[in-house]
Structure 1
Amino acid sequence: MDINFWNFNHIMQTKRTKVEEVKIDLVNDEFPEAKQEVMETFDAIAQSIKDGDINKLISLHAYSPKFTEFKNGDPRNSSDANEAHERNVFGSVTEVVKFNANDLQIAVYGDVANVTFHSDFHLKFEENLVIVNDQISLLFVKTENG
């Protein structure tokens, strides 16, 4: 018994390995898997607009008291104002002719990501074509729901 006990302790001591701590650099690390997840969510946003699925579009927002938005130099919007605006605007689109996000960049910082791009959207409202060329920033936050 003593020999087996000694062998067990000896084996356990020799099998121990040192675990190195991995340092995460939130500013410089790229997080490719998270970037892919953000891109998939961005694609879902675009598809909901193309499909005219406003409820899907709204469901992809993280509305809370922290939600904030600037638009065209107007005062800051709350989540309620944003939802009303998006339902009104995107709910009135009769055709998405073009929906390009040029120079798109995704910057992931852990559970938060910033997406910036230049929009080249051609949207029809009945017979009226509206072209939206703007600089857009979207803030993504990973939650329990995705």
Structure 2
Amino acid sequence: MKKYFILLLLSVSLSTAAMPDINFSGNWSWASKPLWRSPENLYSFTLNLIQQGNTVSGEWAHIQSDNIIKAHGKVRGYIQHGRLTLEYCTENSGNLYKYKPCPQYEQFNGYYVLQSDGHLQEYIQNSTKPSVYHPSLNYNKQ
């Protein structure tokens, strides 16, 4: 029995040692040219994340091409099984954005995964099948 216990401990320690370190810290951004606006109008969404262990905190901003911040706020979240789940709140006055005003947080219906190419891939929940997630935005690290 002692032999099996030692083998179990060894297998658990080797499997955790083989897992790569996941670090979501950094400035991440996604930008797009909307088809319905003039070509010079870009808009972007940024995430500035700080990871400490399995928890993440930071800020988000929705920015227009003229560098005007349309909306901004805070994020917090946790990492489990390589997936980052975030909650958002807004620091905008009024209800201009879909998130609750800080310090209340609202959970995003999705998660984020670091890709092998260094991008941060967002997955969102299917509105008709809540157990199904599909790729959405792909963020670049700045």
Name whichever structure is richer in strand by fraction.
Answer: 2
> Scaled by the length of structure 1, what TM-score is found?
0.33
Structure (1 or 2) with the larger CA radius of gyration: 1
